[in-house]
Amino acid sequence: MGLIVQKFGGTSVADTRRIHSAARRAVAAKTRGNEVVVVVSAMGNTTDDLIALARQVCENPPKRELDQLLATGEQVTIALMAMALHDQGHEAISFTGGQIGLVTDNAFSKARIQSINKQRIFEQLEAGRIVIVAGFQGVTPEGDYTTLGRGGSNATLVALGAVLQADVCENYTDVDGIFTADPRIVKNARKIDRISYDEMLELSGLGASVLQTRAVEFAKKYNVPLHVRNSQNDSEGTWIVAETPNMEHIVVSGAALKKDLTRVTIKNVPDRPGIAAKIFGDIAAANIVVDDIIQNVMDDNTANISFTVEHGDLHDIKPVVERIARELGPKAHATYQGDLAKVSAVGVGMRVHTGVAQHMFKTLADARINIQNITTSEIKISCIINKDDGPRALQLVHDAFELDKSK
Amino acid sequence: MGLIVQKFGGTSVADTRRIHSAARRAVAAKTRGNEVVVVVSAMGNTTDDLIALARQVCENPPKRELDQLLATGEQVTIALMAMALHDQGHEAISFTGGQIGLVTDNAFSKARIQSINKQRIFEQLEAGRIVIVAGFQGVTPEGDYTTLGRGGSNATLVALGAVLQADVCENYTDVDGIFTADPRIVKNARKIDRISYDEMLELSGLGASVLQTRAVEFAKKYNVPLHVRNSQNDSEGTWIVAETPNMEHIVVSGAALKKDLTRVTIKNVPDRPGIAAKIFGDIAAANIVVDDIIQNVMDDNTANISFTVEHGDLHDIKPVVERIARELGPKAHATYQGDLAKVSAVGVGMRVHTGVAQHMFKTLADARINIQNITTSEIKISCIINKDDGPRALQLVHDAFELDKSK
């Protein structure tokens, strides 16, 4: 008995049959004696369809109007979900973001949640109703619709979990949970039962996951347990929870592969204080995410600064980098190496176990996979390698740390 | 130069091409120096499609949730309309009913407008923007979405016209205006240039029109000139305005036919005060509209009370009438006569001209059309006839009053 927030993504509410199926899950949780709040996304490809419709009308639609348009997607689903519950004999009420006072800043298309008025939700829960909330959307203080950006429904899920002090946030997807590696590449990948927020953050930053970094950060901050599970079956999924001491027994929890990276190197950068800050400040201003930053100081008092970007961002970052190089003086210039990948091992156990990095490097070396760069964090080791070696490297790292075996 | 409120119905915004075409009309009005507010309906058959989707999920969806669902239809159109204006190089901003504080009572599916907050609209107009407002919808004081019932977008149009003290409300449809009779039946029907609110009220009550009774009543109350015109061409449509003395020169302005009526007669009703009030109170409680009420008192101190209902309502009204008859005593009983129609002539000139009724009765009699009942108002004469005689009767009345000739 407790308060459960469930979230159903687009594929889990793609048609009226699936909406009924999701509704039955909410009813099951209610029947077990819980108070239930349900967050839903837009049905199937609705959001993409609406964006395509907007582009038919206007090549570059104003973001406020695009959010006004996109917010209808979730509004359709909440109403249908409430009707499905009514049809199954249960009282339910649907709310848009605005109707529960989910107020955001006014950064249309990628707004951040500022506050939620929980009173209206609690009133309805106390009246015995299942409460349905539109994911992905909020309103500005002036009442304009905003959307929360990619993965925004998960942000709604976790924010509601935090504000309502939910016992668990259940994230229903079309997979069984978080895996030790991408099961499409590593056939013996194993579903993880429990994982810490920090490990999940590293893995989701690596693109290995159904959960966006922002949602996990928020869950960590407010200590909301997340349960990622499959909407098509009843098996337990993966619990994402605060770190416990016994998690450190597991040295490596998961491995991940990020494909299609390009390494950008700016050579002959004057080695002065503040230069790196300027370079990455300019890049951040262009709204491009970079990773794996490495700086090498040379003998001639210059430095080489390199970092990776996703291949798709190269077109946007190139003019920024070329301008920076020009500003840095006549010797500075940029080079680009594409067709790279990154294989990583993640685990909180690295904090207390030694030899993890060496074991990983040796595994790759024995297989004659060339490591071009290495970056590490307290709980992660990443190696930049050739793209073609990526899938094989992921399988090797998975095998080396025996991730297929439950510990 | 002034303030114009334009409304585009579903067919006028059925696809992105038509939305652009409607946007061009708004731009044209703006370019002529006007401030422009645009009210739009849901695109094409969107509302019907959403209702069908709801019925897939739940046979009898809760009305609050149905309104939550239906309100998305207009929200899509307002966003696309704002984008189309942006694409044409004009500043525009879209508002849902809630965003302009269009507050209604909480009679979901047929809510009544209580107030509109005009401040936000005026701010945007003063900033030089075209303002787009979602028709057909509002919010309760608690922020729940409501819809305004059939023809609700016209209610929004006229309410905005009244609140903003617009110089004109333009109602864009797919016909050229209001005609002297249904042009599908009467080939020489003529478009009316000017008609009074009262005449329009009688005609729309007769089902002869593109404007619902409620919108016309509202326009009359606040003296808002309405201009019904075709979105596919630039010709002047029909102006619906306050009555002027020279309108009385025209004895009959239009003729209308209502088909598929059934006459219900309750016989041997005790002739006591309050009986009629009870009968029609019970029928109103069942939410059925009746018309053409006639009461005849018989020699034996009983009365026959008859009225007409649309054939489609017969199924609903029959049990109510049977119950009333039982309660009225052992002699009372109900009879039903179907396959009736009603032909009517409407004109404010009837107030000052005599002989209009006789001319109409003689016209029908000469054509051997039997008149079963007659009802009149100050500006209307209606005859109940056999359904099969309907179209011929309409043409005869149209010819008798020379409605094809401009006066």
Please judge whether A62 and B53 are an interchain contact, meaning their C-beta atoms are less than 8 angstroms apart.
no
Predicted pLDDT at B340: 95
Lowest average pLDDT, out of B285-289, B373-377, B402-406, goes to B285-289
Q: Which helix (H) or strand (E) element contains residue A214?
A: helix A213-222
User: Which among A191, A281, A278 is positioned nearest to A227, based on CA atoms?
Assistant: A191
Residue range A258-308, pLDDT digits in tens: 989 999 999 999 888 888 888 899 888 887 888 889 888 888 888 899 999
* A159/A175 Cα distance (integer angstroms): 23
Residue range A329-350, pLDDT digits in tens: 888 999 999 999 999 999 998 8
Q: For residue B213, give both structure tokens.
A: 């009774």
Please judge whether B72 and A76 are an interchain contact, meaning their C-beta atoms are less than 8 angstroms apart.
yes
* Interface residue A86 vs chain B (CB under 8 A): yes
* A372/A384 Cα distance (integer angstroms): 5
* Interface residue A75 vs chain B (CB under 8 A): yes
User: Which among A172, A83, A160, A170 is positioned nearest to A125, based on CA atoms?
Assistant: A160
Q: How do strand A373-377 and strand A302-310 relate by DSSP bridges?
A: unpaired
Please judge whether B72 and A69 are an interchain contact, meaning their C-beta atoms are less than 8 angstroms apart.
no
Packing angle, helices A275-285 and A314-327, rounded to 10: 140
Q: Which helix (H) or strand (E) element contains residue B363?
A: helix B356-366
Residue A123 φ/ψ region, left for φ over 0, alpha for ψ in the -120 to 50 degree band, beta for the rest: alpha
CATH of domain A255-400: 3.30.2130.10
Of the pLDDT bands very low, low, confident and very high (cuts 50, 70, 90), residue A178 is: very high
Question: How far does B166 lie from chain A, in Å, by closest CA?
Answer: 25
Residues of A in contact with B64 (CB under 8 A): 93
Domain A3-174, what fold?
Carbamate kinase (3.40.1160)
Q: Please provide residue B346's backbone torsions phi and psi, each rounded to the nearest 5 degrees.
A: -130, 135
Give yes or no for residue A210 having a pLDDT over 80: no
Residue range B29-71, pLDDT digits in tens: 999 999 999 999 999 999 999 999 999 999 999 999 999 999 9
Token match 């999701």: residue?
Answer: A22
User: Which among B390, B6, B406, B328 is positioned nearest to B185, based on CA atoms?
Assistant: B390
Strands (DSSP E) along A225-364, which ranges? 226-230, 238-241, 254-270, 291-297, 302-310, 333-346
Q: Please provide residue B309's backbone torsions phi and psi, each rounded to the nearest 5 degrees.
A: -130, 155
* Interface residue B54 vs chain A (CB under 8 A): yes
Instruction: Work out the average pLDDT over B168-194.
Output: 92
ipTM reported for the complex, 2 dp: 0.84
User: Which among A190, A179, A191, A186 is positioned nearest to A236, based on CA atoms?
Assistant: A191
Chain A and chain B share a number of CB contacts under 8 A equal to 105
**Which residues have C-beta within 8 Å of that of residue A95, sequence separation ≥ 6?**
A78, A120, A121, A131, A132, A133, A134
* Interface residue A65 vs chain B (CB under 8 A): yes
Lowest average pLDDT, out of A46-50, A292-296, B219-223, goes to A292-296
Write the residue in B19, B56, B94 that is nearest to A68 by C-beta. Answer: B94
Contact A335, A267 (CB under 8 A): yes
Residues of B in contact with A76 (CB under 8 A): 50, 53, 69, 72
* A103/A117 Cα distance (integer angstroms): 9
Question: How far does A132 lie from chain B, in Å, by closest CA?
Answer: 11
CA atoms within 13 A on the CB side of A403: 31
Question: How far does A80 lie from chain B, in Å, by closest CA?
Answer: 6
Q: Chain centroid to CA B112: how far? A: 15
Cβ within 8 Å of B, A 257-276: none
Residues of A in contact with B53 (CB under 8 A): 16, 76, 80
* Interface residue B82 vs chain A (CB under 8 A): yes
Nearest residue of chain A to residue B97 (CA atoms): A143
CA atoms within 13 A on the CB side of A103: 10
* A28/A170 Cα distance (integer angstroms): 13
Domain boundaries, chain B: 3-174, 255-400
Give yes or no for residue B299 having a pLDDT over 90: no
Other C-beta atoms closer than 10 Å to the C-beta of A165 total 12
Give yes or no for residue B207 having a pLDDT over 80: no
Query: What mean pLDDT, rounded, does chain A reach?
Result: 92
Nearest residue of chain A to residue B85 (CA atoms): A58
